[in-house]
Amino acid sequence: MGNWIINHGLESFILVVWMGINIFLFVRFYLFYDSGPQFFYTRQLLGSALAWARAPAAVLNFNCMLILLPVCRNLLSLLRGSFVCCGRTMRKQLDKNLTFHKLVAYMIALMTAVHTVAHLLNVEWYINSRHGRYGPLPGNLSMLEDDDDDDHHTTFLNPVQSDSTTPTIFAFTTIAGLTGVVITLALILMITSSMEVIRRSYFEVFWYTHHLFIIFFAGLVFHGAGRIVRGQVSTDPPHNTTLCKDHPDKWGKISECPIPQFAGGFPQTWMWVIGPMVIYICERLLRFIRYLQAVRYKKIVMHPSRVLELQLVKSGFKMDVGQYVFLNCPEISQLEWHPFTMTSAPEEEFFTIHIRQAGDWTEKLIKMVENLPEGSQGPKIGVDGPFGTASEDVFDYEVSMLVGAGIGVTPFASILKSIWYKFKDSNPKLRTRKIYFYWLCRETHAFEWFADLLQVLEKEMDERGLKDFLTYKLFLTGWDHTHAAHVMVHFDKDTDVITGLKQKTHYGRPNWDKEFEQVRQENPSSVVGTFLCGPAALAKVLEKKCVKYSDVDPRKTKFYFNKENF
């Protein structure tokens, strides 16, 4: 139980606070509209459907404010930078921004459904009141018309002012109705194109459809402008509701019952969403400015198994280990920005990215680069970033376990190179005293560009007598009988047959229990950070193992799990 609190405590706390605010807003506004005396006459027409429509509206205001914030990646980077003093647990929460974005989106969808259903009923009941189907009081209330005075305030209660209005006509001729239908449609299209199946396989559909959020927010801001939810305002002399409700025919004729006046509620949504909208506009502007900055190609290399390496130079560009950038190539697509982790160390003059062919955009880029003549510059690209994720924290832990699966090894390439440079300079920033590195890969020829790096590091460590600093294990998960035969033949050799490294390649998947046990035994009373860049299934396994092998006792080892996510 204690282990669960260490690994998930802050995240759960934030969710509880968020849910608590939602519930509070819902209940408060429900009671406001269900018991508020100024809505007594409104409730005569609508019953509790008024409160059922207004309560989700308040929750929607709150969540529409929140939804833009997790996708402002530059803002998050700024927050992460200023939280350097506040401990890594706080900063880890910023990694889960996309999960939070989706959660808020689901809440918006749910509240939209409740809000729409309640208003469907409201419209029908407004029309029925107008037709006198609910008795004399609602009938009379509906008949109240606009006072023809000069101040531009409307004083009626029932927004349905004609006997021939139908719900459909009402919906499409009022601002609220029309904007409501349009933005709900936009919301539905955004949600269906964001389903995992569509997002993973057809990214462009997801990305272009998601821009409907512009229509969503535009409509949302104007949704309340018609002021059709109306409450009673005080008159002089005051209208005594308890006495007058039973005598609607006497209104205007006796002193206690002047004709009641109503006014629409002031539209408030814009107050909630204007801040995040401005922040998001700044975010997009910043991306555009970054796109305009010149990026020069230093070197382009085509590796086996369709991996493209680009060495780029951009003035004023500063990075940290394991950070990623977003690339945009206008020749392929104007609007798309795709994330790539950098594989170079901050100590180098340039930055490198390794791109694997994984979809439409990457395939087009690789094809374009393949057809380039020797020694020429690549296609124009824009670079946004760098953005930091968990890898920045690697050097804060005394002991680090780095797990990279396939192309997921890229952030760790950056870290290992940085280690090499830091060792050369004897950099005191390096708090780490031990690193365990696990690389899981299916095919052998993907090894080659990385194996050379490991070979050099191996030699360097040997020369400085620091063989224990870096322990690495390579796992070849896609082996078959030909590999096994080859290994058997060369069993006695000192170096590994596949990579040429002193550390032999393991075959098959790692036994994580054994690995964690080994780390725990070799590092008692240490704080171990586990970093993964790889598939979600592996993340679940590692997360469980971290919880299992952690101990709340400060004299024993504690494992913290950090995941890269894209």
Would you say 198 or 541 has its CB closer to other proteins? 198
Residue pointed to by tokens 């004399």: 136
3-state secondary structure 280-344: HHHHHHHHHHHHHCCCEEEEEEEECCCEEEEEEECCCCCCCCCCEEEEECCCCCCCCCEEEEECC
Selection from 319, 309, 299 nearest residue 450 by Cα: 309
Between 9 and 304, CB nearer to other proteins: 304
Question: Cα dihedral sign for 386, 382, 563, 511?
Answer: negative
Binding mask 333-362 for other proteins (x = CB under 8 A): -----------x---x---x-------x--
> Is 353 within 8 Å of 343 (Cβ atoms)?
yes
| DSSP assignment letter at 238 | -
Structure tokens at 33: 């509209």
Candidates 10, 189, 215, 547: give the one binding other proteins (CB under 8 A). Answer: 189
Task: Using CB under 8 A, pick the residue from 43, 247, 303, 483 that binds other proteins.
Answer: 303
Does 259 bind other proteins (CB under 8 A)? Our answer is: no
* Main-chain phi, psi angles of 312, to 5 degrees: -120, 155
**To the nearest whole angstrom, how small is the minimum distance from the Cβ of residue 380 to other proteins?**
21
Query: Least distance to other proteins from the beta carbon of 357, Å?
Result: 13
In this structure, what token pair is assigned to residue 97? 């921004």
Per-residue contact track with other proteins, 157 to 186, x per CB under 8 A? ---------xxx-xx---------x--xx-
Site for other proteins in 374-433 (CB under 8 A): 417, 420
Among 23, 195, 271, 372, interactor with other proteins by CB under 8 A: 195
Q: Which residues contact 19 (CB under 8 A, 6 or more apart)?
A: none
Determine which residue in the list 178, 205, 215, 547 makes contact with other proteins, applying CB under 8 A: 205
- What are residue 512's phi and psi, to 5 degrees? -65, -35
Size of the chain in residues: 566
Nearest-approach distance from CB 313 to other proteins, in angstroms: 14
Please list the residues that pair with 300 across neighbouring strands.
310
Binding mask 444-483 for other proteins (x = CB under 8 A): ----xx--xx-xx--x------------------------
> Contact region for other proteins (CB under 8 A) — 68-76, 279-287, 429-437, 496-504?
496-504
Nearer to other proteins, 221 or 498 (CB): 498
Cβ of residue 510: shortest distance to other proteins, in angstroms?
24
CA distances for 247 relative to 21, 40, 126, 131, 255, angstroms: 42, 15, 21, 19, 13
| Site residues (vs other proteins, CB under 8 A) | 113, 116-117, 120-121, 123-124, 127, 166-168, 170-171, 181, 184-185, 188-189, 191-193, 195, 197-198, 201-202, 204-205, 299, 301, 303-304, 309, 344, 348, 352, 360, 417, 420, 448-449, 452-453, 455-456, 459, 490, 494-495, 497-498, 500
